[in-house]
Chains A and B, each alone.
Chain A
C-alpha cells in the first residue's frame, strides 16, 4: 500500500505491506533506525515517537493509519546541529548507558513535559484540581512506560528535571 508520512518535517512516500507497523516503516523502509524495537509489543517504550505531538508506541500502530500525520522521531529532536535541552541533559547526567532505550526515553520525555505543562494529571497526582509541581515522583511515574534495563533511571529523572527547570537555555553541544 502507498502511504505518505510526514517524518521530522519531510514528506516521505512509502510502499508498504499493510501489516507494517509504524516502527518497522521507520526502521526498515524510511531509513530511520533511531527508533528502537525492544519488544514489538507495547511493553518497553523503546519505540516511542511523537505523532502530532503526542507520544505513542510506534510498534503498536500500523503505518497505514498515519497518512499525513506529523511524526517526530529521535532524529528530529535536535535543531540542526543543536541538541535539545533534554538531549544535552541526558548526556551530562548519564541518563543512558547502552543507549538502546534512549531514543524512546527522549521522545517520551519531550512529549511528557508538554503533557505536564498542560496540567495533565498522572497516577501519582494527588490533587486533580490544582497545578501539580513536576516532582521526581511525577517524572518517574510519567516515564514508567519506558524501561531502561541498564537502569539509568536516576540519571533520566535528573536530566528531565534539569530540562524542565531550564527550558529556555538553548545553547551548547553540537549534534
Chain B
C-alpha cells in the first residue's frame, strides 16, 4: 500500500493533535542512546570483515598543474603494499550536496594542494600510511593561477540569475534619513565533523557494498553509480550511524570511490578512513565571504532600502556557490532592494555546503549590520527589527506561511532579561561586560521522501534510507509512528541508513525531519485506515493508545486486529506548490552576554540564550540539542573559526583540530534554547513541522559580535572577532 502526497496546499487538519499516545514532541531519550554510550553503535570504519586491507590516500603536495610521473612502482614494492591505485578517475574532491552525479575526476591534473593523488592499499594500516607518505609526483606547474578572491586579477563571475533588483536603492540611499553602507568579511570555515569520512568497500558477486559516513544515500548511490558505471541495483550503501556531517558528508567524498576502486582491484574488502587533515582538504568547506550591506531607513526607523552584495569563491568546475543572501530577500521590509552575488574561481580546496549554507554567514552579517543601524537610529535593536517585519515577502509579494520573528524576539528578550543599553557601561574586575541580540532566520524546504512502516502484532518497524547524523532521526520517527499507531516507543523500531530501504531526501538543508516525518505520517495514516476497516469504523473515529484500538464502545488490542503477517504501508511526500505560494521559513532570536578583557581584548561568552520557532517540535530534547549546537557554531564563527589559506598557493595552513579552533567545552557557557512548542505551520506539511537543524547558526553569531560592541565599543566587521581585532580599539 502506498500513500502519496504532493504538497500543493495548506494542510486542512492537525491530526497529530488529535492523537492519544502522548509521545510526539516529548523530550524522549534517543532510542539509540544506549548503543552510543556503550560503544556499540557501528560507524563507518568499524566493520572488520576478514581479509580486510587498508587504504591510505596520498596527498598532492604541489605545485598545482599536470602530473608528469609518480614513483608508483617503487611504492608498490614497499612492505605490505598490495596495490597503488593511481587512476585518472579518482575524484578530485567531494561531490556537492544533493547532486546525483560523480565528482570531477583527477585526470592528469592536480587542481589544489591536498588533492588525492593516489590511494595506497596494504595489509596493515601502518604499512599503507607509511607507503602513502613516501609517494611523490613530478609535476609541471601551471602559471597564472589565483588563490585569493580579493587579489587583483582574480577571475570573478557574476551570474545573471543570482542578481536581483527592485525599486531604486541608490535613490533611497541618497534620500533616506539614516543609512548604513559597510563591508564585512567572514572567514573560510570547516564542518570538522568528529568522525572523519571513511568507507569500507566490498565486492561480492558483482555487487558493491559500501559502509560509510554519508548523509544522503539516495544521491550518494547515484554518484557512485555514475563514478563507477554501475547499475543502482549493484550498489548498497550502509550508514546506520554517522559521526556528524554538517554538510561535509552530503556528497560522497574521495575516499569512498577510492575504496571501491581499490576493493575491486585487490579482490578484498578495503577500508579507507581519511586522516583529519585530508578531511579538511578534500571534503568541502565554507567559502570565505566579502559582504557589502546597504540599509536605508526613514526617520521612524522603517527600512526603505536593503542592499546585500557578496563575493564568495570556489574551484573551477564546481557548481555550488555559498548562497550568502538566501534569507535577505524576505527577512526585513524595504521597497528598494538589490542583491548581488559574485564568485571568484580559485585554486583553493573546493567550497561547498556547511551547516546552513547561506544564512550562517549571510544572516549573521546582516544581523551585525542591523545592530549598527539600530544604533544610528537610537532604537532598541529589538524594536528596530520588529518595526521592519514585513507583512508579505517583500521580494516576491507572497504571504508568509507564518512569521514568528516578533514572537521569538519577545520570548527570548523576556527569558534573557534583555535591556537595551548604551555601549561601554559596565567595567567589572578588568572585564567589559555587554549584551547583544540577533535574529535567526532560515528558509524551509521540502523534498521527495519515502518511508515504509510495517505493523505487526509485535509493534511497528519504520524503514527509510534517511540518516541520523546526530540530528535525532531515530527518536523523531519512532515518535511519529508511535503517536499515530498508539504504540509506546519501545514497540516501534526505526531502521535507517540502508540504501535498500525506501528513499529519502537525506540529512541536508534542514529537510530531514519534516520530509521523513511526513513520509512516516503518510504510511501510518494508511495503516490506521486498515485498523479502522478491520473494526468497521471510520479512521477519524479511531483512538489508538498503548497498543489498543478504541472506537465508540469497542476496545481491542492491536494484537487481535493486525493479521499474523502484519500490514505494510509506504508513505511518499513530494514538494509542491506550497513551496512557492507562500514564503516558508523558521525563526529564532539569540541573546548573548560577553565579557571582553580590558587589557587583552579576549572575549568570553558568559551567557547565551535562544528562542526558536520551527512549526511542530517532534522531540523537545533533540530539537533543543540541535539549537544549542547551532548556537555554539554561531559562537565559534563569531570568535574562533578561521581557515587560513596560503596566499601563494592556496593551501590550507591550519588543516587540523589543533590549529582550526572549534569551540571547546570551556568556551561555551550553559547555553539555553527555548522552543515555541505550540507553533504549527500548516503550509509546511500535514505534520506542521519544519527543519530546525540549521536555524541555530543562522544569525546567532551576531549576538556575540553585537554584545562585544555593547561591552567595549569595538565594532567588528570581520569574523572571527579575535582579540587582535579588538585590542587596538579598546577604550
Known: A43-B657, A147-B657. A96 touches B665 (CB 8 A): no
Nearest CB on A from B694, distance (A): 13
Query: How many angstroms from the CA of A94 to the CA of B276 in the assembled complex?
Result: 26
- From A113-121, A126-134, A135-143, give the one contacting chain B: A135-143
- From B106-114, B242-250, B593-601, give the one contacting chain A: B242-250
Is the beta-carbon distance between B658 and A98 smaller than 8 angstroms?
Answer: no
Is the beta-carbon distance between B663 and A100 smaller than 8 angstroms?
Answer: no
Is the beta-carbon distance between B34 and A100 smaller than 8 angstroms?
Answer: no
Is the beta-carbon distance between A34 and B625 smaller than 8 angstroms?
Answer: no
Known: A38-B195, A94-B625. A175 touches B38 (CB 8 A): yes
Chain A residue numbers with a CB within 8 Å of B587 are none
Is the beta-carbon distance between A40 and B30 smaller than 8 angstroms?
Answer: no
Is the beta-carbon distance between A151 and B632 smaller than 8 angstroms?
Answer: yes
Query: How many angstroms from the CA of A36 to the CA of B633 in the assembled complex?
Result: 22
Closest to B660 in A: A43
Is the beta-carbon distance between A34 and B39 smaller than 8 angstroms?
Answer: yes
For chain A residues 117-174, which have a beta carbon within 8 Å of chain B? 124, 136-137, 139-141, 143-158, 173-174
For chain B residues 204-258, which have a beta carbon within 8 Å of chain A? 241-246
Known: A83-B34, A152-B629. A101 touches B194 (CB 8 A): yes
Closest to B475 in A: A94
Query: How many angstroms from the CA of A35 to the CA of B33 in the assembled complex?
Result: 16
Chain A residue numbers with a CB within 8 Å of B471 are 97
Is the beta-carbon distance between A27 and B657 smaller than 8 angstroms?
Answer: no
In this assembly, does B463 line the interface, its C-beta being within 8 Å of a C-beta of chain A? no
For chain A residues 37-51, which have a beta carbon within 8 Å of chain B? 37-44, 46
Is the beta-carbon distance between B39 and A44 smaller than 8 angstroms?
Answer: no
Is the beta-carbon distance between B664 and A147 smaller than 8 angstroms?
Answer: yes
Is the beta-carbon distance between A157 and B276 smaller than 8 angstroms?
Answer: no
Query: How many angstroms from the CA of A149 to the CA of B243 in the assembled complex?
Result: 10
Query: How many angstroms from the CA of A149 to the CA of B656 in the assembled complex?
Result: 13
Nearest CB on B from A141, distance (A): 5
Chain A residue numbers with a CB within 8 Å of B729 are none
Closest to A145 in B: B664
Contact of B666 among A90, A141, A151 (CB under 8 A): A141
Closest to A74 in B: B39
Is the beta-carbon distance between B275 and A36 smaller than 8 angstroms?
Answer: no
Q: Which of B54, B471, B629 has the most CB of A within 10 A?
A: B629
Query: How many angstroms from the CA of A30 to the CA of B340 in the assembled complex?
Result: 56
Chain A residue numbers with a CB within 8 Å of B260 are none
Chain B residue numbers with a CB within 8 Å of A102 are 36-37
Contact of A97 among B45, B48, B625, B662 (CB under 8 A): B625
Contact of A34 among B38, B628, B670 (CB under 8 A): B38
Is the beta-carbon distance between A147 and B662 smaller than 8 angstroms?
Answer: yes
Q: Which of A37, A77, A157 has the most CB of B within 10 A?
A: A37
Contact of A99 among B36, B126, B656 (CB under 8 A): B36
In this assembly, does A58 line the interface, its C-beta being within 8 Å of a C-beta of chain B? no
Chain A residue numbers with a CB within 8 Å of B246 are 149
Nearest CB on B from A13, distance (A): 17
Is the beta-carbon distance between A151 and B34 smaller than 8 angstroms?
Answer: no
In this assembly, does B469 line the interface, its C-beta being within 8 Å of a C-beta of chain A? yes
Query: How many angstroms from the CA of A142 to the CA of B562 in the assembled complex?
Result: 54
Is the beta-carbon distance between B48 and A100 smaller than 8 angstroms?
Answer: no
Is the beta-carbon distance between A173 and B38 smaller than 8 angstroms?
Answer: no
Is the beta-carbon distance between B668 and A154 smaller than 8 angstroms?
Answer: yes
Is the beta-carbon distance between A97 and B626 smaller than 8 angstroms?
Answer: yes
Query: How many angstroms from the CA of A95 to the CA of B34 in the assembled complex?
Result: 12
Is the beta-carbon distance between A140 and B665 smaller than 8 angstroms?
Answer: yes
In this assembly, does A56 line the interface, its C-beta being within 8 Å of a C-beta of chain B? no
Is the beta-carbon distance between A98 and B470 smaller than 8 angstroms?
Answer: yes
In this assembly, does B486 line the interface, its C-beta being within 8 Å of a C-beta of chain A? no
Is the beta-carbon distance between A136 and B625 smaller than 8 angstroms?
Answer: no
Nearest CB on B from A83, distance (A): 7
Is the beta-carbon distance between B37 and A74 smaller than 8 angstroms?
Answer: yes
Contact of A37 among B34, B39, B196 (CB under 8 A): B196
Contact of A150 among B37, B276, B629 (CB under 8 A): B629
In this assembly, does A60 line the interface, its C-beta being within 8 Å of a C-beta of chain B? no
Is the beta-carbon distance between B241 and A17 smaller than 8 angstroms?
Answer: no
Closest to B193 in A: A149
In this assembly, does B366 line the interface, its C-beta being within 8 Å of a C-beta of chain A? no
In this assembly, does B603 line the interface, its C-beta being within 8 Å of a C-beta of chain A? no
Chain B residue numbers with a CB within 8 Å of A41 are 276, 656-658
Known: A34-B40, A44-B194. A150 touches B470 (CB 8 A): yes
Contact of B30 among A34, A91, A106, A124 (CB under 8 A): A91
Give chain B's interface residues, CB within 8 Å of chain A: 29-30, 32-43, 45-46, 48, 54, 124-127, 130, 191-196, 241-246, 273, 275-276, 469-472, 621-622, 624-626, 628-629, 631-633, 656-658, 662-672
User: Can you spell out 23 A-B residue pairs with CB atoms less than 8 angstroms apart?
Assistant: A20-B126, A28-B125, A32-B39, A34-B40, A35-B39, A36-B195, A39-B196, A39-B276, A41-B276, A43-B658, A91-B37, A97-B244, A98-B469, A99-B32, A99-B41, A99-B241, A100-B470, A144-B664, A151-B663, A151-B668, A152-B628, A153-B668, A154-B669
Top 7 closest A-B pairs, CB basis?
A: A34-B39, A100-B243, A98-B470, A97-B470, A99-B36, A151-B632, A74-B39
Further contacts, 5 of them, CB under 8 A, given A38-B196, A153-B632: A77-B38, A102-B36, A106-B37, A147-B664, A154-B671
